Structure 1
Amino acid sequence: MTRSEINARRLAIALGFAALLAAPLFFYPVFVMKVLCFALFAAAFNLLIGYTGLLSFGHAAFFGGAAYFTAHAVKEWGFSPELGIFVGVAGGAFLGLVMGFFAIRRQGIYFSMITLSLAQMFFFFCLQAEFTHGEDGIQSVPRGHLFGLIDLSDPLAMYYTVVAIFLIGVFMVWRFVHSPFGMILKSIRENELRATSLGYSVARYKLGAFVMSAALAGLAGATKALVFQFATLTDVSWQTSGEVILMTLLGGIGTMVGPVIGAGIVVMLGNYLATTGFPVTIITGVVFMVCVLLFRRGLIGELAASRFGRKFGLSRWL
């Protein structure tokens, strides 16, 4: 990177961090927390599709499953918030290990359909399981005290906790992508046969990426359960899996910032159109068509590929 590119990157990070700190002054904190939870969910999904080339149609199983595990652990077992989140992340990683073990044996659309079918099986498990309370879900989940010190019933305390979790999650994705393991995942995405010929165990790397993506999606779902204090079947539905795909495509597959921007747009549309009586799905469908027709790389992807993006080397850090 040149000096100007490094300075531009540092300035962008500083502005983003300042915007997160000041957001409660201009927006409803719960709305921003919802955006951050889904942004982390989209970043986790992008780790799989954008950097490994695996399209999952069942990522809501990890997001919603972790929400159920965390809600149950905090409400029924009396776990503290940090332990409840740990249970959710561990549960999401375990689901990812089980589902990934079967899914990675196939490629392309067959891989995607296996993830969808397994996610639907988990959906019906959540519908019938006693601890999920069926269609009622787990409600009135206490937020508790983080590390026994921070009262998360305070909206600002909860908000800045979510900001910290979001930043940690995104940093983990960035670090994972820019590690030697991440470089191998990119090589698998570009040419799986060549990666195999070089001696890499492709199946093992795919499974590792699947579990990591599931764990981070679980982190987002566990945090969301504490923010809204409930976990429902909507969290594990195929519609939620479709939403995270839309978020990633809209922002830009294979970029760090794209899924975050896409999540913000989709959540904002759903939030502000919900009170108008106009079907939100129609608007999101139109947005998706426009994105596919005019912004094939997504909003951030097109920005990075533009003359402005090439001048400042945005593709290297967006």
Structure 2
Amino acid sequence: MDVNCAFLYGDIDEEIYVCQPLRFEDPNFPDTVYKLDKSLYGLHQAPRIWYETLTQYLLSKGFTRGTIDMTLFKKKSDGILIHPEKYVQEIMQKYKMDDCSSELSPFTAQTCLAPDESGKSVDAHRYRSMIGSLMYLTASRPDIAFTVGYCSRYQANPKESHEKAVKRIFRYLKGTRRLGLWYPKGGCFDLHAYSNSDYGGCKLDRKSVSGGCQYLGECLVSWQSKKQTTVSLSTREAEYTTAYSCCCQVLWIQHQMIDYSINILHTPIFCDNEAAIGMAKNPIHHTRTKHIETQIHAIRDA
């Protein structure tokens, strides 16, 4: 759906006034303000208003609200642990994987998934259900985010090779079901981020995969693993595109922290590619980087 336009259709149940738009002032009433009947894109209340509008519509069509399993959160005296062990056990039993052997990693460097047109087809409904269960788990297990995203590309026509890769993730989960995210109490709120890419990692279209994570102090608050939309022509370009995506996420977090009266002005982004770092610092645009010129402008400006 077009979420940007959907934000304009949320009914407002409170009084909100806005100034007259620049260069569109009413000449007869230049000092008046407008009272909103609908939400505006960019309004702080817009996401909540749109959520309520969508919720009421879905409830009227017979949908029901889900519940949050609070057993995922374990509060201790020195912090909070997000611990999905119970959920892992449930999905292992659901797909009859609770008696399987464990693996040390969710993926291997030698694994190369492809459409596998000649392979034997498997139950597509079961495959999509397994992917959906793992997608929910990635909210608290960033270590499987890349692999789950890789396997989710083949939901339309899954083969035995794809199901084998998914089952390896389950076997990895069996041996690591006690892993979780630890958020210690107190500490600083210094925001810093890391970015990295898998240059030409997709064997089908040779698109790279962008990966990044953002920390507030010692707390991991955001992470991404996504295939890039265009083919990068060099490791430098792949790393720079990844740094740009990480930069966008950092700017979003900085904006969100302002709502909590925390103004984070300087955020380092760590990248392991000297060429990409040099591009961010070099004020001169070279012809070989012209195709990512907009990204260069954006990240340098930030």
Compute the TM-score of the two structures, normalised by the length of structure 1: 0.22
Higher Cα Rg, which structure? 2
Higher relative contact order by CA 8 Å / sep ≥ 6: 1 or 2? 1
More strand by share: 2
More helix by share: 1
Compute the TM-score of the two structures, normalised by the length of structure 2: 0.23
